[in-house]
Chain A
């Protein structure tokens, strides 16, 4: 099943008992544990659940305006309609919510005014979906249109006249500056200086399963259950508690199978609140499932960025300074805004050594659906700018972009000027491998006009250092239970959104306990059955759960070894557990017992075994290493460790139509140990096609009044199977981060980072035009080709 090269994990000359890398469960391409149910159509997603007496909720949306005062809501006709059970309006739940408690400013339904096209203004519960839809049409809302601000610069400029939020003067959510070293002085000493402006688009996650939530409030005991398609059971739990003003221990959040997230479900969503509020109102279960247009109105996609970047190199090509200015289009509400702002700031510090850096940025409100956390949050936009500029700088120097990147690439043990610490990296080897496999050096600059090859690198965090609200608790806790009935059960509320965390957790638990992965039962996706986990975002799960699992397993192993030591007549610390056997590392032949037997004896003498394990990330402070000064927001971007990658794209440009065909992608990534190489490859392949779409096809359009023009899959164009390039994935199979659990780092978001710039650099190589805006549509290409011909 798949490819598993056992040899790659075995180090020559290291005795097996001392080799922490000689894995039996980790590093295996086992099929995902949930895929048999999925291929049979038996996996239960939220919308598949029907409860007795269940009602259906639907949200009445403002589809006619993008910014308007609500003068009056008349829902009497809706309420009188047969089959309608309740109507909910914004005033009934005025408490503001948001991913960051400091900037929470979204209400469940609009109160007093709507700030984007498609915002919810009322909600209905009815006996069936059709009645709910009819009832929404029966609600009359009177609006007074307000001027619409769609461009962040116009929004700042006209803030005196139109303010989107009362408490946000200047229409700015947040403005920030970070200075490390002496940027101006450094530039003065640079030989090569390049300054460019870049602009990115407004893609949306495009997960295939629209959001769905089912709430069941029990009026007898005041308990609320919520099933929802969410990536963040915990943050959702917290925010439901906050908005409904109920203690968290009266609420249980369960996440059924999730049909993709990509960050789009990493925020609480209006349907979740509405389902809960309506259920509490009518004492019946209520389900609210979005249709596709509602997914687009909710948005929470990637922030469009207007970026100015300046990079200076010394005569030898070493980066001396980076100056970065970023204006982010926030859309209507704060959400993840400040986090994204400062993530984008942190992205200039890696994967190259930058001794002096300055960031200025602002997150600006506009009357668009809110942006949120989309795969590769905060990284994709600055990576686009930086990697394209390094390509151009290499050209200025007359060297290969590969050479320039190798020269500046970070190494293990590097501490960036903002105090970000890189315990381990194989970035240089990723660059080398991709270059070698693709024949980049032989092709770059040498292909016929219209054909091109482009290189770009990137990195991403492996989890964050801080929670989004002030707290010192561990970010992940697991409970491992071992008994003679259930075998091994791992409890953790972490959510698998398709990437395979349940499978990876089972493999890691099996490895840590010395059993086989199919012996491990996973109890996840539930805040009551599972122990605490912060959520599925920031590429954090493998690392965080891995450490917690190892921690818990060591405690269980300790108990089992004590018992086995007595039975085998040897020291407990001489025992190892692997492949369902406990054996002496010195006398494996003579002193060994079946693991199951030892468990039986342990349970018979002291009862079932259970142990908790925890993970708390190192909390490095963001300050200027040169001056020792704290920099605001500079804690954001720190991570226990980082994944790295390089992608090389080859494109064919149709010179007459401007159409770009990506023909081939060669990738090499450093994600440490691949716990499940097949699943890891799947992340990389998925990432490439994902951002290929955002680079060439995808965008959301609005007319001058802010009306969403393409809230559907017909005109929001995601790549089809026909658009898939040939992909050669060469993830390093021998990378191992000694500080990471089982040596494993992230991949789910790192692999989207190099895609934009690799494509853009390839287009430059093909036609000699450097694009600074995405998406690069055929129309833009043709226009640029014409202008080039005219000699502009």
Chain B
């Protein structure tokens, strides 16, 4: 049943053998071996497995890998610059203490990126709404919001996408 499909992940084409029932989260983690995408609940309730598909935040635990051919997938590993410099959102998460255990972090950052790409200057309520599908049990969310606000400023100042 397996078929070879091409997945565009972080601007690289990966040819992976998949079964139709393989979930994108499992393919990314186990076959492509990008383990920054996390599985927290596998039922779409926690947001840890969030990736971007064509720029939109989606849950990779409820997405069939086979349905992702021809789409642009972005995982947390695809955010930093080629030389390893952090994306402004990543940098502000580090600088403003928005990271504790780190398990929600990949999803949080990707949801933030989807937000800032479509709405570069979001208000506090807009940030909250955009991140409401990403549970964090450590931080109490306050520093995450601050980090997104700072990233928004940095990105518009530096013209980062």
Q: Determine direct contact between A and B, CB below 8 Å.
A: yes
User: Which residues of A come within 8 Å of B, CB atoms?
Assistant: 1-2, 29, 31-32, 34-36, 38-45, 47-48, 50, 205-210, 257-262, 291-292, 497-500, 678-679, 681-682, 684-690, 712-714, 718, 720-722, 724, 727
Which residues does chain B contribute within 8 Å of A724, judged by CB atoms? 128, 140-142
Q: A689's closest neighbor in chain B, by CB? A: B140
B90 and A39 contacting across the interface, CB-CB below 8 Å: yes
| Contact A39 to B86, CB < 8 A, known contacts A259-B103, A292-B43, A682-B138 | yes
Q: How large is the interface on B (under 10, 10 to 19, 20 to 34, 35 or more residues)?
A: 35 or more
* Of the residues B105, B132, B133, contact of A39 by C-beta under 8 Å: B105
Which residues does chain B contribute within 8 Å of A713, judged by CB atoms? 40-41, 43, 45-46, 135
Q: How far is the CB of B76 from chain A (nearest CB, A)?
A: 3
B104 and A208 contacting across the interface, CB-CB below 8 Å: yes
Max chain B Cβ within 10 angstroms of own Cβ: one of A41, A261, A291, A712: A41
Closest 7 CB pairs of A and B: A41-B36, A498-B101, A259-B103, A38-B102, A41-B76, A685-B140, A713-B45
Q: How far is the CB of B62 from chain A (nearest CB, A)?
A: 13
| Contact A259 to B101, CB < 8 A, known contacts A36-B86, A682-B143 | yes
Any A CB within 8 A of the CB of B97: yes
Q: Which DSSP category, helix, strand, loop or mixed, fits chain A's interface? A: loop
Q: B35's closest neighbor in chain A, by CB? A: A48
B136 and A208 contacting across the interface, CB-CB below 8 Å: yes
Max chain A Cβ within 10 angstroms of own Cβ: one of B104, B128, B129, B136: B136
Q: B125's closest neighbor in chain A, by CB? A: A722
Q: Which DSSP category, helix, strand, loop or mixed, fits chain B's interface? A: loop
Which residues does chain A contribute within 8 Å of B38, judged by CB atoms? 45, 208-209, 259
Q: How far is the CB of B118 from chain A (nearest CB, A)?
A: 18
Q: How far is the CB of B16 from chain A (nearest CB, A)?
A: 16
Q: A32's closest neighbor in chain B, by CB? A: B99
Q: How far is the CB of B47 from chain A (nearest CB, A)?
A: 9
Which residues does chain A contribute within 8 Å of B76, judged by CB atoms? 39-41
Q: A43's closest neighbor in chain B, by CB? A: B102
A500 and B109 contacting across the interface, CB-CB below 8 Å: no
A207 and B97 contacting across the interface, CB-CB below 8 Å: no
Q: How far is the CB of B75 from chain A (nearest CB, A)?
A: 7
Q: A720's closest neighbor in chain B, by CB? A: B132
Q: How far is the CB of A335 from chain B (nearest CB, A)?
A: 21
Contact with A along B41-78 (1 / 0, CB 8 A): 11101101000000000000000000000000001110
Which residues does chain A contribute within 8 Å of B139, judged by CB atoms? 682, 685-686
A40 and B138 contacting across the interface, CB-CB below 8 Å: no
| Contact A38 to B105, CB < 8 A, known contacts A713-B46, A713-B135, A720-B132 | yes
A721 and B128 contacting across the interface, CB-CB below 8 Å: yes
B40 and A208 contacting across the interface, CB-CB below 8 Å: yes
How far apart sit A727 and B139, CA to CA, in the bound complex (Å)?
12
A31 and B94 contacting across the interface, CB-CB below 8 Å: yes
Q: B19's closest neighbor in chain A, by CB? A: A130
A722 and B102 contacting across the interface, CB-CB below 8 Å: no
| Residues of chain B from 86 to 102 with CB closer than 8 A to chain A in the complex | 86, 90-91, 93-97, 99-102
Q: B105's closest neighbor in chain A, by CB? A: A38
* Of the residues B41, B93, B137, contact of A292 by C-beta under 8 Å: B41
B100 and A712 contacting across the interface, CB-CB below 8 Å: no
Q: A36's closest neighbor in chain B, by CB? A: B94
Q: How far is the CB of A584 from chain B (nearest CB, A)?
A: 37
A39 and B109 contacting across the interface, CB-CB below 8 Å: yes
| Contact A41 to B75, CB < 8 A, known contacts A2-B97, A257-B102, A721-B132 | yes
Which residues does chain A contribute within 8 Å of B142, judged by CB atoms? 685, 724, 727
How far apart sit A735 and B143, CA to CA, in the bound complex (Å)?
24
Q: How far is the CB of A261 from chain B (nearest CB, A)?
A: 8
B100 and A40 contacting across the interface, CB-CB below 8 Å: no
Q: How far is the CB of A714 from chain B (nearest CB, A)?
A: 5
A292 and B42 contacting across the interface, CB-CB below 8 Å: yes
| Contact A32 to B101, CB < 8 A, known contacts A207-B137, A721-B131, A722-B132 | no
Which residues does chain A contribute within 8 Å of B134, judged by CB atoms? 721
